[in-house]
């Protein structure tokens, strides 16, 4: 039986994700948005591309939650971008309201689904979706580290003029400034990165990856990155649909110190084994003292956002 995937939010990332999924040809995609006509128009345009690329993907656009009924996976990209004059906390509260509403509607139609979050601030939004869905944390997780890792890998491959396939790296922690690249485990064709790139240059590359989202916002001027974030979600979906047991950095719930990173009851970017049931395991990687300090700092930033949501009765 074909799997059904709902994408809540048919904006830049949502629509581009639909495109990546349509290329697979083996899934039904529902694009949901509150804007009248927009998801229907994008879905129809994409559907009309299928005979050209030879894909039998079914794609529908809707403003009606009923059309999302019995989805296997629901991806939540719905949210507002930060507008001029809006504080970080204002955006946090607005997007928490949107994610709460979308989660309630989505799970009412698809009580057995897996929820994958993309709305920012990502880790905090995962907390909201976990609470509103009542799902086990294994079925609620977010896209974070695959994107940061991909940016880092892309820049390293460019620097060394090698295939991206040769570059193995992990970036943990939160997005952007808080990201924690694991330099010690980064290698190119098995050769440690520290043997290939001098420390100072490597620092510059890490910094570019760290500011990767901002670099794109500055170039685009309106909107933020969407190709790579949606490709990252497509990879997570593929891991679930095919029970691949891939170990990918995702925003996952640590519960009672799962994974052994000394972080409790918090969503944070950590390596997770993804399979048919969602997050099967938070995987432990030994961190250096410096990496651990950076991860704890990252956890503290997420905790701050969670506290703001609690203070505003958006989380309990």
Query: Which amino acids are annotated catalytic?
Result: 175
8 vs 231, beta carbon nearer ligand APR: 8
Give CA angle at 292 (289, 293), nearest 5°.
85
Minimum separation from the CB atom of position 32 to ligand APR (A): 6
Closest CB to ligand APR among 89 and 280? 89
Q: Decide whether 10 or 248 has the Cβ nearer to ligand APR.
A: 10
Q: How far is the CB of 13 from ligand APR (least distance, A)?
A: 3
Q: How far is the CB of 171 from ligand APR (least distance, A)?
A: 16
**Closer to ligand APR at the Cβ: 10 or 188?**
10
Q: Which residues, including other chains, have CB under 8 Å from residue 14's CB and lie 6 or more apart? A: 7, 8, 31, 33, 75, 77, 78, 230
Provide, rounded to whole angstroms, the least separation between the CB of residue 26 and ligand APR: 24
Query: Shortest distance, CB of residue 229 to ligand APR, whole angstroms?
Result: 5
Kindly tell me which of 101 and 166 has the beta carbon lying closer to ligand APR: 101
Q: How far apart are the first and last CA of the chain?
A: 38
Which stretches of the chain bind ligand APR, using CB under 6 A? 8-14, 33-35, 77-79, 81, 98, 101-102, 118-120, 223-224, 226, 229
Q: Residue 11: is it exposed, middle or buried by C-beta count within 10 angstroms (0-12/13-18/19+)?
A: buried
**Least distance from C-beta 272 to ligand APR, angstroms?**
19
Closest residue to ligand APR using C-beta atoms:
11
Looking at beta carbons only, is 12 or 254 nearer to ligand APR? 12
């Amino acid at each position: 039986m074909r799997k059904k995937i709902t994408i809540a939010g048919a904006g830049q990332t949502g629509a581009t994700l639909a495109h990546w999924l349509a290329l697979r040809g083996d899934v039904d995609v529902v694009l949901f948005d509150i804007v009248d006509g927009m998801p229907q128009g994008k879905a129809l345009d994409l559907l009309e591309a299928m005979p050209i690329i030879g894909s039998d993907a079914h794609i529908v656009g809707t403003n009606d939650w009923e059309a999302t009924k019995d989805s296997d996976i629901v991806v939540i990209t719905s949210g507002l971008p930060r507008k001029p004059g809006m504080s970080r906390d204002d955006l946090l509260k607005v997007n928490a309201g949107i994610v709460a509403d979308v989660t309630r509607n989505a799970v009412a139609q698809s009580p057995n689904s897996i929820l994958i979050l993309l709305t920012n601030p990502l880790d905090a939004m995962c907390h909201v979706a976990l609470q509103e869905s009542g799902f086990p944390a294994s079925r609620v997780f977010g896209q974070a580290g695959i994107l940061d890792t991909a940016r880092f890998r892309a820049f390293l491959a460019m620097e060394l003029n090698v295939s991206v396939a040769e570059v193995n790296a992990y970036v943990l922690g939160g997005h952007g400034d808080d990201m924690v690249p694991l330099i010690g485990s980064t290698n190119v064709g098995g050769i440690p990165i520290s043997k290939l790139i001098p420390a100072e240059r490597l620092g510059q590359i890490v910094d570019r990856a760290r500011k990767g989202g901002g670099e794109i916002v500055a170039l685009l001027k309106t909107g933020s990155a969407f190709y790579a974030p949606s490709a990252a979600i497509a990879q997570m979906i593929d891991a679930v649909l095919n029970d691949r047991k891939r170990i990918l950095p995702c925003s996952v719930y640590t519960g009672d110190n799962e994974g052994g990173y000394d972080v409790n009851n918090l969503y944070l970017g950590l390596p997770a084994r993804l399979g048919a049931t969602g997050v099967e395991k938070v995987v432990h990687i030994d961190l250096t003292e410096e990496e651990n300090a950076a991860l704890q700092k990252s956890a503290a930033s997420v905790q701050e956002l969670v506290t703001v949501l609690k203070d505003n009765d958006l989380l309990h």
